[in-house]
């Protein structure tokens, strides 16, 4: 920590003060942990029986095969579709034609501002439910596609605009047409800049698949629900669910970091906020 | 269809609850997130590690799982809380991790020379932060914080799955009862959310412009 620009390398008196802070905060944090563990043991949550389902092969395979595979499948297909959606509308937003730019802008802004869950419930109740409906699985995928597609459209637009202007000017000077400039000059360079943002959007999609819980879609949260309804081990199930999601997301994030280092370099990062809700219109 | 307009007070009431969730958990997560950011940039290594761990764990956990923790796991630990409090607790725990990241990015956006100059004239860490770095970071932090608050607005909808009758839950009720007007009902509620989001956006834009002028 001594390399921080915010404070000097500590002298002896400051170091002593920091030691006191350290001891106090360790005590407080351990006390908090202790309170939680005491609570868990006094309410019988540490009992082996409560954890047993997660050590039983049949439940584990249900959780991992039916749950995680379905979750990853939903996230993956919605990201693939979202990339297509995002490309169409992102390039549409860059169009020179007002009649094309405006509808694209409206669609992107609409789907970015509306909660995914609201869309999901609407799609499920209107098109998904019933025997001839598309089912909860596709309701989740479509809702996630629309939302992530709208966010990715912004990523694509920003990524293409981040390519230095001289590139497209040079391409036009060579006599390339608009579509050629886009496809052979701007996109190949833009994709490099966008790649980390696209991959971090995968984390968002992965997390948002859990919302399918509300419309009873398949996935790891649904399996978790049936486990905790059967064994009444809500605490343990919640912990296991969180661990599964954290492991998945950390894996995806590390791919993003790797891609950023490989394709973008350390410094020029496309500044899209990676918060859950997409960017503000600022 | 008429059901919605004759019961429009229910729509407003639902958005009232959405706003309530938004404002309470927004304020609480601003406080908690700022505290976490202070931990993360501060000189006490244990607290910095704690802040990093908190942010990593919470950011990679879906909000829905946080809700499962608060609504289903806490009662098993004999912690009984009223519904609204549980909703705000879940949203606060989740959002504060993102507030922390926004704050930290704001602090990192302040140029090194500013902090160095502050140290050079002998200010302590607390003084450097409160007199030099934070006032400047506040400007850089407005756009990402606005995004966090917008995300929070949309995230309040998750409470619909846990028995809080906010806007999304209300829409589900209306769509169930009015099969002929589902799309219109969806659009009405969507517009409600869009209005809230645009107000936050406009507020952030206004703040940004005002503070830029003051510099």
Yes or no: say if B7 and B171 are a contact pair by the CB < 8 Å rule: no
Predicted local distance difference test score (pLDDT) of residue A281: 30
This prediction's pTM: 0.88
* Residue of A153, A231, A62, A143 lying closest to B168 (CA atoms): A143
Select from A6, A207, A241 the Cβ nearest to the Cβ of B68. Answer: A241
> From its phi and psi, is residue A154 left (phi > 0), alpha (psi between -120 and 50) or beta?
alpha
Q: What are phi and psi of A230, to 5 degrees?
A: -80, -45
Predicted local distance difference test score (pLDDT) of residue A265: 67
Contacts 24+ apart (CB under 8 A), B197-201: B197/A113, B197/B150, B197/B153, B197/B154, B198/A113, B198/A281, B200/A280, B200/B146, B200/B149, B200/B150, B200/B153, B201/A280, B201/A281, B201/A282, B201/B146, B201/B150
Nearest Cα of chain B lies from the Cα of A55 at a distance, in angstroms, of 20
C-alpha distance across the termini of chain A, in Å: 34
Q: Is the pLDDT of residue A1 over 80?
A: no
Note the pLDDT tens digit of each residue in B25-41. 999 999 999 999 989 98
Q: What is the mean pLDDT of residues A246-257?
A: 90
Better pLDDT: B134 or A70? A70
> ipTM score here?
0.87
Note the pLDDT tens digit of each residue in B75-116. 988 888 999 999 999 999 999 999 999 998 888 888 888 888
Residues of B (164-203) whose Cβ lies below 8 Å from A: 167-168, 171-172, 175-176, 182-183, 186, 189-190, 193-194, 197-198, 200-201
Yes or no: say if A217 and A117 are a contact pair by the CB < 8 Å rule: no
* pLDDT above 70 coverage of chain A, percent: 90
SS3 for A216-231, per residue?
CCCCHHHHHHHHHHHH
Q: Is the pLDDT of residue A279 over 70?
A: no
CB B171 to CB A45 under 8 A? Answer: no
> How many Cα neighbours within 13 Å face the side chain of A162?
20
Residues of A (126-145) whose Cβ lies below 8 Å from B: 126
Q: Is the pLDDT of residue A65 over 70?
A: yes
Q: Measured between alpha carbons, how far is residue B159 from residues A147, A148, B8, B12, B155 in Å?
A: 19, 21, 21, 17, 8
């Amino acid at each position: 920590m001594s390399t921080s620009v915010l404070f000097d390398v500590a002298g002896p008196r400051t170091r002593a003060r920091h030691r006191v802070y350290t001891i106090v905060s360790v005590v407080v944090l351990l006390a908090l942990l202790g309170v939680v563990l005491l609570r868990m043991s006094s309410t019988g949550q540490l009992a082996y029986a409560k954890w047993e389902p997660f050590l039983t092969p049949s439940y584990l395979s249900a959780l991992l095969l039916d749950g995680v595979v379905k979750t990853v499948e939903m996230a993956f297909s919605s990201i693939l579709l979202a990339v297509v959606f995002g490309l169409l509308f992102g390039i549409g937003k860059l169009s020179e034609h007002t009649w094309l730019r405006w509808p694209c802008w409206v669609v992107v802004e609409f789907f970015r501002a509306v909660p995914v869950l609201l869309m999901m419930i609407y799609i499920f109740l209107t098109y998904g439910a019933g025997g001839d409906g598309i089912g909860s699985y596709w309701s989740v995928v479509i809702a996630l596609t629309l939302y992530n597609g709208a966010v990715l459209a912004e990523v694509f637009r920003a990524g293409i605009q981040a390519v230095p202007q001289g590139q497209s000017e040079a391409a036009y000077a060579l006599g390339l047409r608009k579509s050629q400039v886009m496809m052979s000059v701007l996109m190949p360079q833009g994709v490099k800049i966008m790649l980390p943002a696209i991959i971090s959007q995968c984390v968002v999609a992965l997390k948002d698949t859990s919302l399918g819980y509300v419309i009873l879609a398949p996935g790891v949260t649904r399996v978790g629900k049936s486990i905790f309804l059967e064994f009444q081990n809500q605490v343990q199930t919640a912990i296991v669910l969180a661990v599964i999601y954290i492991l998945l997301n950390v894996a995806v994030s590390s791919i993003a970091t790797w891609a950023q280092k490989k394709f973008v370099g350390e410094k020029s990062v496309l500044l899209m906020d990676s918060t859950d809700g997409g960017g503000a219109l600022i | 269809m008429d059901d919605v307009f004759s019961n429009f007070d229910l729509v407003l009431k639902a958005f009232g609850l959405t706003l309530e969730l938004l404002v309470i958990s927004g304020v609480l997560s601003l406080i908690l997130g700022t505290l976490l950011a202070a931990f993360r940039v501060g000189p006490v290594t244990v607290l910095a590690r704690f802040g990093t761990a908190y942010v990593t764990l919470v950011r990679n956990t879906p909000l829905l799982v946080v809700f499962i923790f608060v609504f289903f796991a806490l009662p098993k630990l004999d912690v009984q809380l009223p519904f609204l409090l549980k909703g705000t607790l879940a949203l606060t725990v989740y959002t504060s991790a993102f507030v922390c990241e926004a704050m930290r990015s704001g602090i990192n956006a302040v140029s090194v020379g500013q902090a160095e100059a502050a140290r050079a004239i002998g200010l302590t860490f607390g003084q450097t932060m409160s007199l030099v770095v934070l006032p400047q970071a506040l400007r850089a932090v407005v756009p990402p914080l606005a995004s966090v608050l917008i995300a929070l607005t949309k995230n309040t909808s998750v409470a619909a799955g846990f028995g809080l009758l906010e806007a999304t839950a209300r829409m589900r009720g209306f769509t169930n009862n009015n099969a002929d007007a589902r799309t219109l009902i969806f659009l009405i509620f969507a517009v409600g959310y869009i209005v809230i989001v645009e107000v936050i956006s406009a507020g952030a834009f206004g703040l940004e412009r005002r503070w830029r002028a003051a510099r």
